[in-house]
């Protein structure tokens, strides 16, 4: 059973100056004692939301409020006021309505005093988290099977099916008959749960489904892919989407808009200063430009691998070396060459130096060292 944890935290990576007041996070408690009524209510809420997700697209915090109201039982509320069309609005009616609302609101307050709420409407919050965990190799270590199940449920629920316009008297018939046929409507993801279809939202959430284990023939995956391909493919994404695909390794830096980290060195009096952007853009482009400045380079990867092997990394943890060698092997072209990449590094760029043989020499050197010091050591 999922439980909302309030004002709790710990560990070396999570610090606080107010004893975690105002912090909320979900945890799955597999040992939780759950009544039959609570299980039935939860199943009903999930079913109703999934059934009506194309009309009511927000979850309305139902699971969270169910838990909080159980922890904060409400005293009996006054009878609700109901007014007819021409009936006069009285002070008593407004007071009753306010009293009932205040009574309800007090039951969904967390024990530390704050009112929890979700921030889940944008459909580009979850994909970067999943991709980052996948890239770092921590997807299975951080996300339990229950986390993945709920992420898949969320992504499936917000795959919008846009039906065509049809006469209202036939609406129920058309909804029943045609909602499973792509050529009668569009099936994809938007920028947010209330939004229309976008290539940005569709590609990112398609990637999430694949990284979380959905196969290419799964219904939602196949429909999403069909829509993406019919509308020009992932290359039609805006810059943020292309950036994430590139970091993931399925797109090229050459196809991205440049995000030079030098922009952050411009003085504040300069007409364009990256530090003056709105926080949403500033906090996104800062790490993007950092990664752009340190983007993948096979020669530098080879140098790093040579250093790790010679320094004895193989005796501590072989995974970084394995990942680097796998990258070199997968980057080799059909003719045996390695791709010529952008010039990186302060000296090379400023002095316009480009040693084209480096792309052949150093991968050979790193892979040879790997064979000599890692593979042979494992054999003997």
pLDDT digits (tens, 9 = 90+) for 336-370: 998 887 776 656 666 667 788 888 999 999 999 99
Determine how β-strand 24-28 pairs with β-strand 160-162: unpaired
| Residue 186 in this model has a pLDDT that exceeds 60 | no
Determine how β-strand 160-162 pairs with β-strand 186-188: antiparallel
What's the pLDDT score for residue 293? 81
CATH of 126-257, one of 3.30.413.10, 3.20.20.70, 1.50.10.20, 3.40.1020.10: 1.50.10.20
Residue 380 or 305, more confident: 305
Domain with CATH 1.50.10.20 in the chain: 126-257
Residue 219 CA to residue 198 CA, distance in Å, equals 19
Residue 6 forms beta bridges with which residues?
24
Cα–Cα–Cα angle for 356, 362, 365, rounded to 5 degrees: 145
Cα 335 off chain centre by: 37
Residue 231 CA to residue 225 CA, distance in Å, equals 10
Render pLDDT for 252-280 as a digit per residue (tens, 0 to 9): 888 888 888 888 888 888 888 888 888 88
Render pLDDT for 290-307 as a digit per residue (tens, 0 to 9): 888 877 788 889 999 999
| Residue 53 in this model has a pLDDT that exceeds 70 | yes
Cα–Cα–Cα angle for 138, 139, 142, rounded to 5 degrees: 75
Render pLDDT for 122-152 as a digit per residue (tens, 0 to 9): 999 999 999 999 999 999 999 999 999 999 9
DSSP E strand boundaries for the chain: 2-6, 24-28, 160-162, 186-188
Residue 75 CA to residue 98 CA, distance in Å, equals 15
pLDDT (mean) for 2-29: 89
């Amino acid at each position: 059973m999922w439980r909302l944890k309030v004002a709790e935290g710990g560990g070396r990576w999570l610090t606080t100056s107010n004893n975690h007041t105002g912090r909320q996070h979900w945890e799955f408690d597999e040992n939780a004692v759950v009544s039959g009524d609570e299980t039935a209510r939860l199943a009903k809420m999930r079913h109703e939301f999934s059934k009506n997700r194309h009309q009511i697209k927000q979850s309305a915090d139902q699971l969270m409020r169910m838990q909080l109201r159980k922890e904060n039982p409400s005293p009996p509320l006054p009878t609700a006021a109901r007014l007819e069309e021409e009936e006069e609005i009285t002070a008593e009616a407004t007071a009753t309505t306010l009293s009932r609302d205040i009574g309800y609101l007090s039951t969904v307050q967390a024990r530390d005093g704050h009112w929890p709420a979700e921030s889940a409407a944008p459909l580009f919050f979850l994909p970067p988290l999943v991709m980052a965990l996948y890239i770092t190799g921590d997807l299975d270590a951080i996300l339990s099977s229950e986390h993945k199940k709920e992420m898949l449920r969320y992504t499936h629920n917000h795959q919008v099916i846009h039906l065509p316009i049809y006469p209202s008297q036939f609406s129920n018939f058309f909804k029943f008959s045609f909602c499973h046929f792509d050529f009668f409507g569009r099936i994809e993801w938007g920028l947010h749960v209330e939004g229309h279809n976008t290539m940005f939202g569709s590609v990112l959430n398609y990637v999430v489904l694949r990284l979380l284990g959905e196969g290419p023939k799964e219904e939602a995956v196949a429909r999403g892919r069909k829509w993406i391909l019919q509308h020009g493919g992932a290359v039609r994404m805006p810059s943020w989407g292309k950036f994430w695909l590139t970091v993931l390794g399925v797109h090229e830096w050459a196809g991205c808009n440049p995000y030079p980290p030098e922009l952050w060195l411009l003085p504040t009096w300069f007409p364009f200063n990256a530090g003056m952007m709105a926080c949403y853009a500033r906090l996104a482009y800062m790490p993007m430009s950092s990664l752009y400045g340190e983007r993948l380079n096979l020669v530098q990867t080879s140098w790093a691998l040579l250093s790790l092997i010679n320094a004895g990394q193989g005796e501590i943890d072989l995974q970084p070396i394995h990942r680097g060698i796998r990258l070199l092997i997968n980057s080799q072209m059909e003719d045996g060459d390695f791709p010529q990449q952008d010039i990186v590094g302060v000296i090379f760029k400023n002095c316009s130096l480009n040693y084209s043989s480096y792309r052949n020499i150093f991968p050979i050197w790193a892979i040879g060292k790997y064979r000599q010091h890692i593979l042979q050591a494992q054999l003997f």
